Amino acid sequence: MKLGRRITRYLFFIIIIIIAIRMNKITALSSVKMQKNSCPRDWPGLRVRFLAFDFDSTCTVEDTTGLYYKATETYRRASEAKSKVLDKEWESLGNTYLKGHKETIKRLLENVPYSENGNLSMEGLKSFLMETHNFDSECTKKVEASGLLSGISKEGIIQIAKNVQLSPGCVQVLGQVNLPLNVISFNWSKDLIQIVLGQLKHLRIAGNNFPTEDNKSTGQIDSHVSTSFDKEAEFMRLVEGQKEIEGLSVFIGDSIGDLLPLLKADVGIVIGNSNTMRKVAKAFGIKLLPLLDLYNRYGRCNSVQYDSSIVIPSTTDNNGILYEATSWYEIGELLLGNRLLPVTD
Ligand X SMILES: *[C@@H]1O[C@H](CO)[C@@H](O)[C@H](O)[C@H]1NC(C)=O
With DSSP H G I counted as helix, E B as strand and the rest as coil, what are the percentages for the chain, rounded to 5? 50, 15, 40
What backbone phi and psi angles, to 5 degrees, belong to 44?
A: -90, 0
Task: Compute the least distance from the CB of residue 68 to ligand X, in Å.
Answer: 6
Q: Which is nearer to ligand X, 128 or 210 (CB)?
A: 210
- Interface with ligand X in residues 123-142 (CB under 6 A): none
Task: Compute the least distance from the CB of residue 67 to ligand X, in Å.
Answer: 4
**Cα–Cα distance for residue pair 217/225, rounded to 1 Å:** 18
The reply to whether 186 sits near ligand X by the rule CB under 6 A is yes
- Interface with ligand X in residues 46-105 (CB under 6 A): 56, 60, 63, 66-67
**Cα–Cα distance for residue pair 118/184, rounded to 1 Å:** 29
Q: Which residue in the set 43, 128, 188, 284 belongs to the binding site for ligand X (CB under 6 A)? A: 188
The reply to whether 117 sits near ligand X by the rule CB under 6 A is yes
Q: Which is nearer to ligand X, 23 or 61 (CB)?
A: 61
Q: Which residue in the set 187, 228, 255, 274 belongs to the binding site for ligand X (CB under 6 A)? A: 187
The single-letter DSSP state of residue 245 is S
Q: Which is nearer to ligand X, 59 or 248 (CB)?
A: 59
Q: DSSP string spanning 249-302?
A: EEEEE-SGGGHHHHHHSSEEEEES--HHHHHHHHHTT-EEEETHHHHHHTTTTT
CB count within 10 Å of CB 145 equals: 10
Q: Which is nearer to ligand X, 63 or 317 (CB)?
A: 63
The reply to whether 214 sits near ligand X by the rule CB under 6 A is yes
Contact 295, 301 (CB under 8 A): yes
Q: Which residues bind ligand X (CB under 6 A)?
A: 56, 60, 63, 66-67, 117, 119, 164, 186-188, 192, 214-215
